[in-house]
A and B are shown apart, each in its own frame.
Chain A
Amino acid sequence: QSVLTQPPSVSGAPGQRVTISCTGSSSNIGAIYHVHWYQQVPGTAPKLLIFDDSNRPSGVPDRFSGSKSGTSASLAITGLQAEDEADYYCQSYDRSLTASVFGTGTKVTVL
């Protein structure tokens, strides 16, 4: 099972700000490892959204931002748009498991 915990769902109206939490432990997020975020539109492959806690790959709108503190991380989406409706996953590395680990996933619904 996933060692990174996310809320199952979050929702917001167009234009609003939503945040998604990702809670880990001292063997992953709380260690030296960065947190990365992926967006998956249903029926398609995941896409890298944020890498190394807070960096956006080229082409990702600045409406998406990431942060990390202690054993948790967060993804924020400001100015929510209909096209942001998707599943979002956090990911890090776990030194106890010696494996990359994903979060449980969060479905974002635009009301």
Chain B
Amino acid sequence: EVQLVESGGGLVKPGESLRLSCAASGFSRLGFTDFYMTWVRQAPGKGLEWVGHIKNIRDGGTTEYAAPVKGRFTISRDESKDTLYLQMTSLKSEDTAVYYCTTEYFYYFNHWGQGALVTVSS
């Protein structure tokens, strides 16, 4: 059973930076290197919002981001550690959310982590 475990969440002030990690394990037929990996966030009491994704290495390992975070957030992956990262800079109060790490398979998200809470407040 695939397991995704996010870490690194916390309370930061506006303008500060934070890095989330997502450790993946339990792969069988398809491994971490086969999947696109995605970050999805959910503000308190709100719906789901796609943040961005990173393609697998075979497809170039390139990234795409949602407009609200483009230029401020960077997604990366470490194949040697089966770990996904989300580097967040210039954080704003509207970035306050639970951030979920997911595997992406042909445009849908089939495995989800438990989420990491990021609170941006002065």
How many residue pairs link A and B with beta carbons under 8 A? The number is 59
B112/A47 in contact, CB under 8 A: yes
Within the complex, the shortest CB–CB distance from B70 to chain A, in Å, comes to: 10
Chain A residues with CB below 8 A from B38, complex form: 100
Chain B residues with CB below 8 A from A92, complex form: 107
**Is A86 part of the contact surface with B, judged by Cβ < 8 Å?**
no
Chain B residues with CB below 8 A from A44, complex form: 114
Q: Is the interface of A mostly helix, strand, loop or mixed?
A: strand
Report which of B47, B66, B110 forms a contact with A51, defined as CB distance below 8 A: B110
Chain A residues with CB below 8 A from B106, complex form: 34, 52
Interchain CA distance A52-B110 in the complex, whole Å: 12
Known contacts A46-B100, A98-B64, A102-B49; A91 and B108 CB within 8 A of each other: yes
Total interface residues on A, using CB and 8 Å? 27
Known contacts A45-B115, A99-B66, A100-B38; A89 and B108 CB within 8 A of each other: no
Interchain CA distance A34-B115 in the complex, whole Å: 25
Interchain CA distance A51-B110 in the complex, whole Å: 9
Within the complex, the shortest CB–CB distance from B86 to chain A, in Å, comes to: 16
Q: For residues 13 through 63 of chain A, which have their beta carbon under 8 Å from a beta carbon of chain B? A: 33-34, 36, 38, 40, 44-48, 51-52, 57
- Which chain A residue shows the least CB distance to B47? A105
Total interface residues on B, using CB and 8 Å? 20
Report which of A2, A51, A99 forms a contact with B64, defined as CB distance below 8 A: A99
Interchain CA distance A64-B118 in the complex, whole Å: 33
Q: For residues 44 through 70 of chain B, which have their beta carbon under 8 Å from a beta carbon of chain A? A: 47-50, 53, 64, 66-67
Chain A residues with CB below 8 A from B113, complex form: 45
Report which of A33, A47, A51, A89 forms a contact with B48, defined as CB distance below 8 A: A89
| 23 examples of A-B residue contacts, CB within 8 angstroms | A2-B47, A34-B108, A36-B108, A36-B109, A38-B48, A38-B109, A44-B114, A45-B113, A45-B114, A46-B40, A46-B100, A47-B112, A52-B106, A91-B48, A91-B109, A97-B67, A99-B66, A100-B50, A102-B49, A102-B50, A103-B47, A104-B47, A105-B47
Interface residues, chain A, with chain B CB atoms under 8 Å away: 2, 33-34, 36, 38, 40, 44-48, 51-52, 57, 89, 91-93, 97-105
